[in-house]
Amino acid sequence: MLVAALLSAGAVSAQDIQERTIKFGHLNNADHPMSMGAKKFAEIVAAKSGGKLTVREYPASQLGNELQQQSALQGGVQEMTAPAPTSLAGIVKEFGLLDFPFIVSNFKQADALLDGPVGKALLAKLPEKGLVGLGYWDLGFRNVTNSKRPVTKGEELEGLKLRVIPNPVFLETFKTFKANPVPMPFAELYGALEQKAVDGQENPFSVILSNKFYEVQKYLSATNHVYAANILLVSKKFWDKLSPTEQKILQDSANEAIVWQRQVSRDIAAKAVGELKAKGMQVNELAPAELARMQAAVKPIYDKFSGEYDKALVSTFKSELDRIQKQ
């Protein structure tokens, strides 16, 4: 065992790693790549701590919605969660930068943005809000589904009542295309689609499949309008109780789990499209020229919100986008 090896080497004392149970809650179902990542993370943490640190997963919103779990971490009553950056924009508004539409067009660009200076600068703003970020997991590119019609261009979003994450950038994005965006907690979404309280929603392929939205939605458009990540978060109140050795175990485990989870998530997303078709969804791609038109249409959103954010971070964001979009 790693711990035994460290102890025999005199690197740590037995007190450096205590028996602890870490409650890790998130929104996704137990068959989702998010949950698979949580299980892998738990496995790595157990191995590195000699079984002393136990990560207990609570999937499918068992511990509440994203904002409730975020508050629970800040209060120290829950140890970990993995929300979308969107939900953190309420406490660190610069996370809204990651919700800007059409900023990255592939996974390589997304990883470069999140693992580079922008992602690190955003995580650095969390401790003063009672949270510690260990890195970014993959959720995937977000795509629009609805029960009314195929969407092959921006204009066809007009009039559709779409559930969006409660976030100003998302609301503004869909208003640009004259859709009717409705902010709503994720846990309420299936029921709202089933009862036709909303016409549609937008989420990555694996979320659409895992939550069986194909049962209540006919049309899926591969808009890829936003790349979505999950941030591996720890309660700062809990983090501050940990020894440096325990903190290192969690960070190292997170780093290993990130590489594994991203690959698994992307493999599953690629297969999910075929499964959604097999379950009766009508899937359509958007032409590159149409996506470029939509990207141009939302440009004013960048200017509107960038003015509200930390100027140095916005400058880094712009220079990083220039760099990674050339890759």
Q: What is the per-residue pLDDT across 22-39, written as a single tens digit (0 to 9) for each?
A: 999 999 999 999 999 999
**What digits encode the pLDDT tens for the residues 151-185?**
999 999 999 999 998 888 899 999 999 999 999 98
Q: Is the pLDDT of residue 90 over 90?
A: no
Q: How confident is the model at residue 2 (pLDDT cuts 50, 70, 90)?
A: low
Q: What is the domain count for the chain?
A: 1
Work out the mean pLDDT of the chain and round it to a whole number: 93
Query: Which one is predicted more confidently, 11 or 163?
Result: 163
More confident residue, 5 or 203: 203
- Dump pLDDT digits (tens) for 44-56: 999 999 999 999 9
Determine the residue type at 83: P
Predicted pLDDT at 187: 86
- pLDDT of 213 over the 60 cut: yes
pLDDT confidence bin for 9, thresholds 50/70/90: very low
Tell how strand 53-58 and strand 20-25 pair up: parallel
Task: Work out the average pLDDT over 192-211.
Answer: 95
Compute the distance between CA of residue 257 and CA of residue 245 in angstroms, rounded to an integer. Answer: 18
Domain extent, residue 24, equals 2-325
Is the C-alpha dihedral spanning 171, 176, 182, 184 positive or negative?
A: negative
Whether the pTM exceeds 0.95: the reply is: no
Residue with the bigger pLDDT between 166 and 149: it is: 149
- Residue 8 is predicted with a pLDDT of 40
Look at residues 323, 249, 309, 248 and name the one whose alpha carbon lies nearest to residue 121. 309
Mean pLDDT calculated for residue range 268-275? 94
Question: So what's the pLDDT on residue 38?
Answer: 98
Q: What is the CATH number of the domain that holds 90?
A: 3.40.190.170
Average pLDDT, stretch 274-282? 97
Confidence of residue 10 (pLDDT cuts 50, 70, 90): very low
